[in-house]
Structure 1
Amino acid sequence: MKYIIGSRGSRLALIQTKYVQEKLAKAYPEHTFEIQIIKTKGDKIQNKPLDKIGGKGLFVKEIEEKIISGEIHMGVHSMKDMPPTPAKGLVFTKVWKREDPRDVLILRTAKHLSELREGAVIATGSKRRAFQLLKLRPDLQIINIRGNVDTRLRKMEEQQLDGIVLAAAGLKRLGMEDVITQYLAPEDMISAPAQGALALEVREDQKELQKMLDVFCDEETMNEVCAERNFLEQMGGSCHTPAGARCQKTDQGYELYAMFGNEDGSKQAYTKVYGTCPEILAQTAVKNIKKQLAGIVYLIGAGPGDPGLITVKGKEILKKADCVIYDRLIPQELLDETKEGCEHIYVGKENHHHTMKQEQINELLAQKALQYDIVVRLKGGDPFVFGRGGEEAIYLADHGIYCEVVPGISSCIAAAELAGIPVTHRGISKGFRVVTAHDRRNQLSDFNFASMAKSEETLVFLMGLSKLEEITMNLLKNGMDANTPVAVVSSAASTKQQTCEATLNTIHEKVKQEKLSSPAVIVVGDVVKLQKQIQKPEDTTCHLVTKIGDQPSKLAQILKDHGCKVKELQTGEISYRYDRISKEELAKVTYLIFTSRYGVHGFMKQMKSSNLDLRDLFDKKIVVVGKKTKDVLMQYGIIADLMPEEAGEINLSELMKQEVDAKDVVWYCKGISGGEKLKKALTPICQVTEKVMYENNRKILSEIPEMKDIRSVSFTCASSARRFFDQIGEEKQQWIENIPCISIGEKTTKQLREIGVRHILESKDTTYVSMFYKIKESML
């Protein structure tokens, strides 16, 4: 029979494949073995690092496809280039004796690594090699290099590099052993897992061919490669992460050197373990590495929906997190608390439509713990109350990763309480029983309904809205009184919270009529009757939010999200200037200052009308007054260079005084009024020009609410305060004396004081979230 062997077309790949061809031809003269050259994507792209184009798998995909299709019978690869498992339908045969697995240095003039000049330039295409070289010699300059052996040697001469790093196996197979300057021992340079070994890949159903190839198996190499590749697989290594593993036989068994790091090399770990079993060697090495590398994973309960219900400890940790892996129903406000650059990963589950399976979430937590110092798993309610947090904690512990649980407020008590229902009450309920209403097959859980029906405890069913009819029928069937009070609380702790109260035999129909939706908590028991005594009469007053422009106010939305009644009142409207910007004048500018979102929008409109774009800003330093302006700038793809630690015109002035000098040309992009302090501070020290981008025009108030209906009034600029109090008429003095006014910052506060307002609460910083907390303070 004729067997076709697939190979890449490089000289080294062909030498390796011809070696296999000759061994097979000699052992099986009754068959013929023919080589077919296959060009892979990795061969076609030689000018980019592997991790930028997809990794080592790019050298095998096309060959694997031809094996699967039956066009060729087998593929010959370098085992170190292979993923931990082959493509579906393919298998690796047993490993043959490998060539020298060491890495080597080829130096242009020096004779040893220690003899290289300070700052010498060494080229390699491997992060693993780069980071280990820098561990030995931190002064080295490491640059990237791609191409076959001949190409790399030529580049070394042409670019006058001090040296390159290659694998000894490849050089020996090419007959180029004489170019090696220094062999690197595993204690200095841990080689890639399975380096020097060949991977022979065939279809899973080709049993006869597998037997033919397995004849050449080398048991010692098999054990070594098994330990190395098991280590890589358990660590979840890829071309993006530096990973090394070198196992070698000793008199007592085997020793395994291993290393692993993150993408930028800021975290690296090394270990050396001994043993006789390859699998156990790999497991031990993985545990040792993870103990050194892993950050902390915090399982934090976010509470049942209201961002204010997270614990103080949970919120403080959240602010420090490098990565947050979060569930459905986590409020955006909590994610907004994270620091800049924090990675957010959504893994929510809804009605059995899972973004990720639980097993994948477990793996993700372990993976991110190796990448970051602080990983937060943010879960609704409490992590251990039907939240599968226990499974995550056990998985992390099994993988040597430290995990800390920060408890949260569970909806099993919070939903009832927020509806005015105590789950326990003296003389009515001795305790409460909490269950989840469905099992993993989405069937009603197998409860002891007979015990429940006779219980003197409050019954709380979580995640049970779709099972409500089954729950009530089973309780009635087992003897519970049909008139037992039942409440269903939907979307607890949110603005959408609804409570439906009825009896055991009527609750299902009433919930259908009122169209309650998930998530919902079902409360069964006499404590439900207490709701009428505890629940306060509905508050009909609202918070008045003034705004510029006709767009919905973000502050109003935050208040609504927290269950507050809100009325918006427009006090002004923005009109933008469309003056042309001279490209020649802009070229001279060194700093652009923005103190409002309108300044940013206006500048971008003028840029567009002047036929300019972001390329004309490449050499400018961009300055913003605070985070809100910074966020608006980000919408245009621009990251601010400078921002004062605390927002405000005075702080901005002090920052700019330290930055600019007489040669600097500064454009202050602003509205038609304001900014006098900044201009006054900068005029003596630099060339500052006010560029008017917009006007904030007064708007006649369409409808002034009655004071008795208002709990507070918020102002996001001084002009809104002035216009509001100028137009409220006869009741002005009563508003001034009785209604709390929320101010966004010092200029607005100053205006309110000039008006004579008695109760002013100024936000801690110039953000809507900060204003929201001041509004909450006004409610106390």
Structure 2
Amino acid sequence: MEYRIGTRGSRLALSQAEYVRERLQGAYPEDAFTVQVIKTRGDMILDKPLHQIGDKGVFVKEIEEKLLLGEIHIGVHSMKDMPSAAAEGLTFARAWKREDYRDVLILREGASLEDLPKGAVIGTGSRRREFQLKRLRPDIKVVGIRGNVDTRLKKMEEEKLDGLVLAAAGLKRLGMEDRITRYLEVEEMIPAPAQGILGLEILESNTGLLEMLNRLSDKETVEAVKAERGFLQEMGGSCHIPAGAVCRNMNNHGLCLDVMYGNETGSRQAYAKVWGDEPDMLSKKAAVSIRRQIAGKVYLVGAGPGDAGLITVKGLKAIREAACIIYDRLAAPELLKEAKADCEIIYAGKARDAHTMKQEEINRLLVKKSMEYERIVRLKGGDAYVFGRGGEEGIYLQEAGVPFEVIPGISSAIAGPEYAGIPVTHRGIVQGFHVVTAHNSKDTLSEIDFEALAKEKETCVFLMGLSKVDEIARRLIEAGKPSSAMAAVISKATTPKQRTCVSDLSHIGGKVKEAGLTSPAVIVVGDVVCLRDKLDYFEKKPLFGKKYLIPKIGAKTTGLKELLQEKGADVTEIQVGEIVKKKKIFSAEQLKSVDWLLFTSKNGVEAAFLNFVESGLDLRSLGGCRIGVIGAKSAEALQAYGIYADLLPADFNSDGLVEALKPYLTGKEKVWYFKAENADGHLKEALEAFCRFEEIVVYENCGVEVDLGDLEPLAEYNGILFTCASSVKRLMEALHTRRNALPEHGNEKTEKSEKSEKEEKTGENKRGCNIYSIGPKTTACLKSCGRELEGIENIWEARQASYEGLAELCVATSASQREPIYSPLSPQQS
């Protein structure tokens, strides 16, 4: 049979392929073996370092494609250039005897590294070699150099480099051993894993050819490959991370594996030497030794049961300092907003029927990221250990040599019932409680001692058991628990979506089904459930069960959202704009001539004072100025700089500021108004006749691309709160764009649209969506929209133009204590 051997076209690659051909031809003379040259991406890009064009796999992809297509039978590679695992459908034959594994130094002048002058320039395309050269001679300058051996030697002469570092194996295979100035021993430079070994790659299904190649293998080299490439795989398998490994058989002393590993910049490097008899165990020991030296710390953080405010102080600190966060489905999304802007955030959530990542994958990911970052947070719902798998993760990290720390979280087993008005213990009623998981890995009810639970008086708390409520109740009754015993099921506990069902054991399952509760849920059984009527505070908050939408300016969570959440509301924010500061330079002389500074927003305050600082001015420069502001937030922003406003009108709007300021003006005063570029000229028109009025643009409220994402239909919200006219316009534009982008379906109707139409005809959907305005300008903009806001019911305006005013308005309208100022359904209203 004829076998085609694929290889790259360099002189060294051809020499290696020819060596393989000759050995095979000698061993199997009845077959024919030919060499076929294949161009790879790595051969075509010679002007960039290896780590900038991908990884060592750029030398093999095209060859592997030819193997999979059946155009060649054997791919010959330098094993050190291969990724840590073979491509799918391919496999490697057992290794043949290795050539010299060492790196060598080739110098233009001199006989050793020590002979080189200070600042000598050495060329190499490997950061592994670069970092180890710097350990030997920190003063040496290392430059990147690519190409085959002949090209590199030519560049050394042309560019007057003092030397090169190359692999001894390549030079020996080319018959160029005489060019070697000095061999670099393992103690000086640890070579790349599998350096000097040929990688013979074939189709995994070609077992006959595999057997032919394996007959020519070398036992000692096979062991070396297992240990060296095993180490690379243990460390994550990345070819562009600097890593070195060489395994030697030390006769009576067994196998010795020397390894090195560093990050991409070389700021963290570690070296290790381990001994043993089994290559696989050697690679694991070496990896553990490396991680113990340079791995970052993993923090297993309990995020609490759902309410982001229940995170511990220590947990929040860890989130804010993390370089990488790997989080679960049950962790409050708001916590991720506390992370640094450059923090890598990875979702590893697991629902009952859908796992984004399996636990084994999460474990490996934690170890991998520990080698990339100093601080990694594993953010888990509830507590890290209580019915979570944080303990397994901690053990895996410890065995892998990665330091970790646990930051406990508040468990839903306690917090869930408490938010529903149910203490798990209460003096005079029950002195203890049991917490059990109702769900096992086989999606069936866990092995629970129901007889023991039924006999005890203590409260029983079941987690992860919503789908098993009926069975749990039945088993407890069968074990002797009275069917009249009280039970509660709390869905989405501690969040605004919390819902609670209470009944006796014999009816609780039906109640839960009727209510349509969804997971996660906590099940509580015991006499303490009867305390709910007296202790339930959360579900009695004035806005509990209400949903609101806030179009906001800027990425941060607004104070308005926090106010509404404190009152129990479920709040969604959508960013429609951002504040961009404008740079202005001021002088102390300019400020001396100003009598009044006016601010109508906290953004104006912050932008102006940022410019004062950048102009080299401090509070003394404002000594002759009086300051007027609109609204409490502007006043608070001033106070952050140690200044109290001289003028704060009772009405938080421009007209209120004008009327409050006029008594202080004689016509001679100089007034500076710090404003947004796109703000109207109302203040100027109202005051320029009474003073020397000047507008100073210090920021701009700019629009952003509005991501409507999974935004629900507006009619699904109890209200939309607008804090400025620009938010009205931008949300309108985004909704209009999305509406126009929806595909035409002719006469086809979706299930959702048919349902909405039916509700409209029968009058079942009467809730509508209230619109809340912070002040007159925003209201005027809303009125001009007419029916553009689909689902509008009424427009309401806050009596005081502030977040507090809007929050109070939501409470008042929810309790039907206020009438709307405008309804598009009743045009005569105004």
User: TM-score category by the smaller chain?
Assistant: 0.7 to 0.9
Corresponding position of 2:677 = 693
CA distance change for structure 1 residues 414 and 691 in 2, over 3 Å: closer, same or farther?
Answer: closer
How many residues align structurally? Answer: 629
Does 2:372 correspond to 1:368? Answer: no
Does 2:560 correspond to 1:556? Answer: yes
Corresponding position of 1:767 = none
Corresponding position of 2:223 = 223
| Structure 1 letter corresponding to 2:282 | L
Does 2:450 correspond to 1:449? Answer: yes
Q: 1:695 Cα shift?
A: 1.2
8 Å CA contact 1:559, 1:566 repeated in 2: no
Corresponding position of 1:488 = 489
> What pairs up with 1:252-331 in 2 under 5 angstroms?
252-331=253-332
The 10-residue stretch of structure 1 (202-211 or 312-321) with the greater mean CA deviation from structure 2: 202-211
> What pairs up with 1:252-651 in 2 under 5 angstroms?
252-536=253-537, 538-540=540-542, 554-561=558-565, 564-565=568-569, 597-599=578-580, 649-650=608-609
8 Å CA contact 2:564, 2:571 repeated in 1: no
* Structure-2 separation of matches of 1:92 and 1:550: 57
Corresponding position of 2:240 = 240
Q: 1:726 Cα shift?
A: 14
Q: 1:490 Cα shift?
A: 1.5
* Structure-2 separation of matches of 1:153 and 1:131: 21
Deviations for 1:193-241, whole angstroms, at most 9, x for unmatched residues?
A: 1100111223334344333323332222222232212221222231231
* Structure-2 separation of matches of 1:176 and 1:502: 88
8 Å CA contact 2:101, 2:167 repeated in 1: yes
Corresponding position of 2:616 = 657
8 Å CA contact 1:320, 1:338 repeated in 2: yes
* Structure-1 separation of matches of 2:171 and 2:571: 77
Q: Which runs of 5+ in 1 are unaligned?
A: 569-573, 575-595, 604-627, 631-645, 660-670, 679-689, 700-712, 717-722, 728-738, 744-780
8 Å CA contact 2:105, 2:181 repeated in 1: yes
CA distance change for structure 1 residues 182 and 523 in 2, over 3 Å: closer, same or farther?
Answer: same
1:657 is paired with a residue whose SS is: coil
Deviations for 1:91-130, whole angstroms, at most 9, x for unmatched residues?
A: 3222211111111222334543223333333222212111
TM-score normalized by the length of structure 1: 0.73
Deviations for 1:134-193, whole angstroms, at most 9, x for unmatched residues?
A: 222222333322222222223333333333321111111112223323321111111001
TM-score normalized by the length of structure 2: 0.68
1:175 is paired with a residue whose SS is: coil
CA distance change for structure 1 residues 499 and 696 in 2, over 3 Å: closer, same or farther?
Answer: farther
CA distance change for structure 1 residues 691 and 39 in 2, over 3 Å: closer, same or farther?
Answer: farther
Corresponding position of 2:818 = none
Deviations for 1:633-674, whole angstroms, at most 9, x for unmatched residues?
A: xxxxxxxxxxxxx96744652344299xxxxxxxxxxx9x99
* Structure-1 separation of matches of 2:608 and 2:166: 58
* Structure-2 separation of matches of 1:125 and 1:359: 35
Q: 1:350 Cα shift?
A: 1.9
2:210 is paired with a residue whose SS is: helix
* Structure-2 separation of matches of 1:86 and 1:295: 29
* Structure-1 separation of matches of 2:234 and 2:543: 59
Q: 1:740 Cα shift?
A: 14
Corresponding position of 1:22 = 22
8 Å CA contact 2:98, 2:197 repeated in 1: yes
* Structure-2 separation of matches of 1:199 and 1:442: 45
Deviations for 1:593-616, whole angstroms, at most 9, x for unmatched residues?
A: xxx94445999xxxxxxxxxxxxx
Q: 1:362 Cα shift?
A: 0.3
Corresponding position of 2:13 = 13
* Structure-1 separation of matches of 2:676 and 2:399: 62
Corresponding position of 1:212 = 212
Q: 1:57 Cα shift?
A: 2.1
Corresponding position of 1:702 = none
* Structure-2 separation of matches of 1:62 and 1:353: 36
| Structure 2 letter corresponding to 1:442 | D
> What pairs up with 1:28-107 in 2 under 5 angstroms?
28-107=28-107
CA distance change for structure 1 residues 348 and 656 in 2, over 3 Å: closer, same or farther?
Answer: farther
8 Å CA contact 1:299, 1:404 repeated in 2: yes
Corresponding position of 1:191 = 191
| Structure 2 letter corresponding to 1:274 | W
> What pairs up with 1:728-747 in 2 under 5 angstroms?
none
Deviations for 1:721-777, whole angstroms, at most 9, x for unmatched residues?
A: xx97999xxxxxxxxxxx99989xxxxxxxxxxxxxxxxxxxxxxxxxxxxxxxxxx
Q: 1:692 Cα shift?
A: 6.7
* Structure-2 separation of matches of 1:658 and 1:180: 66
* Structure-1 separation of matches of 2:93 and 2:471: 55
CA distance change for structure 1 residues 356 and 541 in 2, over 3 Å: closer, same or farther?
Answer: closer
8 Å CA contact 2:436, 2:463 repeated in 1: yes
* Structure-2 separation of matches of 1:446 and 1:113: 68
C-alpha RMSD over aligned residues = 4.2
Q: 1:525 Cα shift?
A: 1.4
Corresponding position of 2:694 = none
CA distance change for structure 1 residues 629 and 186 in 2, over 3 Å: closer, same or farther?
Answer: farther
Corresponding position of 1:589 = none
* Structure-1 separation of matches of 2:102 and 2:21: 25
Corresponding position of 2:201 = 201
CA distance change for structure 1 residues 489 and 37 in 2, over 3 Å: closer, same or farther?
Answer: same
Could you list the runs of 4 or more consecutive aligned residues of structure 1 that deviate by over 6 angstroms after TM superposition?
547-553, 673-676, 713-716, 723-727, 739-743
| Structure 1 letter corresponding to 2:75 | G
